Each structure stands twice: as structure tokens, then as C-alpha cells.
Amino acid sequence: MIVRRGPAEAADVDSLPPGTVRVFAPAKVNLFLEVHGKRPDGFHEIATLVLAVDLGDDLAISPVETGDVALTCDDPGLTVGPDNLVLKAASRLRSETGCSLGAAIRLTKRVPWAAGLGGGSSDAAAALQGLNELWKLGLSVAELARIGAALGSDVPFFLGGAAAWATGRGEVIAPLDVGRPLDLVLLKPAEGLGTADVYRRLTVPAEPKDGSAVRGALAAGDVDALGAGLFNRLQEPAFELCPAAADWHRRLTEYGTAGALLTGSGSCLFALCRNPQEARRVHDDLSSGQPPGSPRPRTYLVRSRP
């Protein structure tokens, strides 16, 4: 995450109050995801290789004179009530620290939801980081991650670096090096998927797959080896629930890129490309050609974050 204090490079910077903190909330993809079983707390034990990309939301967090925390969003389909993870993050942060200050938070939404891209968790992490800065709380990344883990398993990852090996229910983070920038094309079908629905259809393997090869390929910057190691245990149950995602995955594999996979519990898919030119070719072809009568998916040309 990048925290920027007002003025920023956005076109609407003049409309932001003095002292506004702006935070970029990146999306993520899962290059590997294995499920090891169900835990006593009801969550599943997982092992996953997570990569942040340069598609993301923006949070503008401004000081207010009252002790209220209010959220607005440019996406009318997204709730801005107390169930939103941004407001939950603010409430948890105030409860943990005893802070009584307020804030006005403006969320510019670019990451599609119900997609497996971690948009809600990333927004929560951005809120924790931005409010920590605005309210001068002085909390460390580790302290914010502890607070964030209670909000969502992905939140601690978004407080860290560009890639990580995540275990536990996804909140135990071991940062990883990325050997070279990675170029990807994201494809979000019109249909969404709920994480709980996908997990309900999951069969936990007797012998889980090992992710050491894919971690090594990421560190070495070997895109073809990384593509060969792409794996997501949730892909099969997600495809059972959303046949359109399975159809789009088949189409992605026809481009001959290094690999294609569902991210998280879906319904978003990605193609891992060998270079920016291949990614541009795939993106442009997907954007221009649609089967007659099919709902149009959203496509994004992205790169891993440095």
C-alpha cells in the first residue's frame, strides 16, 4: 500500500480537504491455493501464493471536526453501511486504541466484487493504514495486521509487500520475492460467486499438493515454470457453480499463454502472460470479440506490483 498525504496526482485533488490521506488498495490473484482441511473455528486451513497487482481502489480519508466516521462510494451497488469492511475496520481500530476521532472516507471502486480479487479486504487494510496515519496512532504493521486478521483472512497480506505465502486461514504471512514483473490479463465474468457457496462444494484432498515449485518459479522469474505450477483447489467447485467461468477459462487456455487460472473462490480468472505484448494481444482480443448473446465480461490488463 502507498499512503499519500494531500495534494495527490488524482484529477479531483483540489476537492479534497487539507490533511487528506490517500491510500491505494490493490487487488490480488492467487497463483496457488490448496486447502488442507477444516479447522475447529470453522475456517479452512489453506496454503496460498498471493500476488498483488496494480489494479486497485482508492481511499481518500479526510479529517472531520466530529467523532463520526462516514463512508461514501462511487459504486451505487456497494453498501456504505456498518457492514462495509471499511467501516468495520474503522470501528475495530477505534475500539482497540480508544481513539475518538472521526473521518470522512471516500472510496473509489475499481476492483470488482464477488470476484476472488480481495477488494473488500484490501479496502479494509487501506482504511487501517490510512486512519493510523490520519489519527497519528503510531501502530506498527504487525499491530495493524493483528487487528485486520479479525476482519478478514486476506487483510494482513494487503498490509505487506507484493507477494506472500499465506497459511493458516490465510492470515499467516511470509513475504516472497518476485523475480521479475509479471503481466496478467484478468477476466471477470458477469456472474459472481460467494466464497461460502464454493467451499460448501469443496472436497478436501487426502494428499494436498505442495507449492514449493511454484514459489521457486516466482523467485526465479521463470514465467513458464510458474504457469505450469498454477493451481487452485477451489477452481473445480467454482466451475460447477458457474459454468460461464469454466467456459471463459477454456477460452483463456486457447491463447497459449504461460497459464490460466481462477483466482480465490472466483469468479474472476486470469491469464499469466510471458511479456507485456502477449498480455496486450490477449486483452485486446477478449475485449473485441464476444460470443453472440453472451453477457460481456470485464477485462483488465494488469502487472504485478513492485
Residues of 241-259 as b/e, b for ≥16 C-beta within 10 angstroms?
bbeebbebbebbeeeebbb
Would you state the pLDDT for residue 13?
54
Q: Indicate whether 73 pLDDT > 50.
A: yes
Per the annotation, the verdict on 88 as an active-site residue is no
pLDDT of residue 8: 39
Q: β-strand 21-38 against 231-232: which pairing, if any? A: parallel
Is CATH 3.30.230.10 the right assignment for the domain spanning 3-170? yes
Residue 296's pLDDT is what?
Answer: 82
Interatomic CA distance for residues 273 and 279, integer angstroms: 5
Start-end of CATH 3.30.70.890 domains in the chain: 183-303
Sheet containing strand 259-262, strands side by side: 259-262, 269-273, 183-188, 298-303
* Spatial CA neighbour of 263 closest among 25, 24, 32: 32
pLDDT of residue 141: 97
Considering only the C-alpha atoms of the chain, give the largest distance between any 2 of them, rounded to a whole number of Å.
57
CA 239 to CA 266: how far, in whole Å? 9
C-alpha distances in Å from residue 104, one per residue of 9, 36, 74, 78 = 20, 41, 14, 17
Which residues are bridge partners to 37 per DSSP? 45
C-alpha cell recorded at residue 82: 456498518
Please provide the DSSP assignment of the chain as one string.
--EEESS-SSTTGGGSPTT-EEEEEEEEEEEEEEEEEE-TTSPEEEEEEEEEEEEEEEEEEEE-SSS-EEEEES-TTS--STTSHHHHHHHHHHHHH-----EEEEEE--SPSSSSS-HHHHHHHHHHHHHHHHTT----HHHHHHHHHTT-TTHHHHTS-SEEEEETTTTEEEE---SS--EEEEEE-SS---HHHHHHT----SSPPP-HHHHHHHHHT-HHHHHHT-EETTHHHHHHH-HHHHHHHHHHHTT--SEEEE-TTSS-EEEEESSHHHHHHHHHHHHH---TTPPPPEEEEEEB--
> What integer is the mean pLDDT of 64-70?
96
pLDDT at 12: 58
Of 86-95, 118-127, 189-198, 270-279, which gets the smallest average pLDDT?
Answer: 189-198
Q: What is the mean pLDDT of the chain?
A: 93
Q: Is 290 a residue whose pLDDT tops 70? A: no
Distance between CA atoms of 148 and 159, rounded to whole angstroms? 9
Q: Rounded mean pLDDT of 160-167?
A: 95
| pTM (predicted TM-score) | 0.93
Higher pLDDT, 209 or 292: 209
Write out the three cell numbers for 93.
481500530
Give yes or no for residue 241 having a pLDDT over 60. Answer: yes
CATH classification (class only), 183-303: alpha beta
Q: Please pick, among 57, 58, 123, 154, the residue that the annotation labels catalytic.
A: 154
The model's pLDDT over 74-122, given as tens digits with 9 standing for 90+, comes to 999 999 999 999 999 999 999 999 999 999 999 999 999 889 999 999 9
Please tell me which residue in 28, 109, 183, 188 is annotated as part of the active site.
28
pLDDT of residue 161: 85
**CATH 3.30.230.10 segments of the chain:** 3-170
Instruction: Reply yes or no on whether the pLDDT at 131 is more than 80.
Output: yes
Residue 61: strand pairing partners: 21, 105
Residue 173 has pLDDT above 60, yes or no: yes
Look at residue 213 and tell me whether its pLDDT is greater than 60. Answer: yes
Active site residue 154: yes
